[in-house]
């Protein structure tokens, strides 16, 4: 019955063929990019090895949030001294990784494409679980506010295997 209704509809915006429908869907989905590769992240962020701490963005909602992934490997330079025989990802690097995911959201806000954002504050950060080589850190960072087109505040969470590893509020300032 729904087929008959669709055939008898007067809506002229419906595609007339499968090929046309496919083309229309491609146009709609390609307008908003929701994932980013390492190379695309490097086009947005100024960070480079060994300080680029986001491997990929697996979800992005413009002006709202991004979800990024950091694959933690034993060959990273911080593990030589933190700690020999028991490598733990330093909390400050977990916070920095969350901030870089937040940078993906901020750098794509209208008018901020050429800006450089730096930390203006870090509040309510708590570490709930150790992060070790072999873990995959999944970070969700949501934009809370932008004030005076210069300051941003974000809520960040980092998880490993669905367990909360760290969370907190991150504040950013746009510098010239």
Q: Which residues have a catalytic role annotated?
A: 82
> Alpha-carbon distance 12 to 15, whole Å?
8
Burial category of 31 from C-beta neighbours within 10 Å (exposed 0-12, middle 13-18, buried 19 and up): exposed
Residue written as tokens 């947005």?
44
Contact 173, 112 (CB under 8 A): no
- Tell me the CA distances in angstroms from 103 to 7, 45, 99, 129, 160, one per residue in order: 48, 7, 6, 24, 21
Assigned token pair, 79: 């593990």
């Amino acid at each position: 019955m729904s087929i008959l209704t669709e055939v008898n509809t007067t809506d002229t915006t419906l595609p007339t063929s499968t090929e046309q429908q496919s083309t229309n869907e491609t146009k709609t989905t390609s307008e908003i990019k929701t994932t980013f590769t390492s190379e695309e992240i490097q086009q947005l962020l100024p960070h480079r090895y060994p300080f680029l701490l986001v491997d990929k963005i697996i979800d992005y909602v413009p002006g709202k949030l991004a979800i990024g992934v950091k694959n933690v490997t034993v060959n990273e330079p911080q593990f030589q001294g933190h700690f020999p025989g028991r490598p733990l990802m330093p909390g400050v690097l977990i916070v920095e990784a969350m901030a870089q995911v937040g940078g993906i959201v901020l750098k794509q806000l209208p008018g901020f494409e050429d800006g450089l954002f730096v930390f203006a504050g870090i509040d309510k950060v708590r570490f709930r679980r150790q992060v070790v080589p072999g873990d995959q850190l999944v970070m969700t960072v949501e934009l809370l506010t932008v004030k005076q087109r210069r300051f941003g505040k974000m809520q960040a969470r980092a998880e490993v295997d669905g367990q909360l590893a760290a969370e907190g509020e991150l504040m950013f300032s746009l510098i010239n």
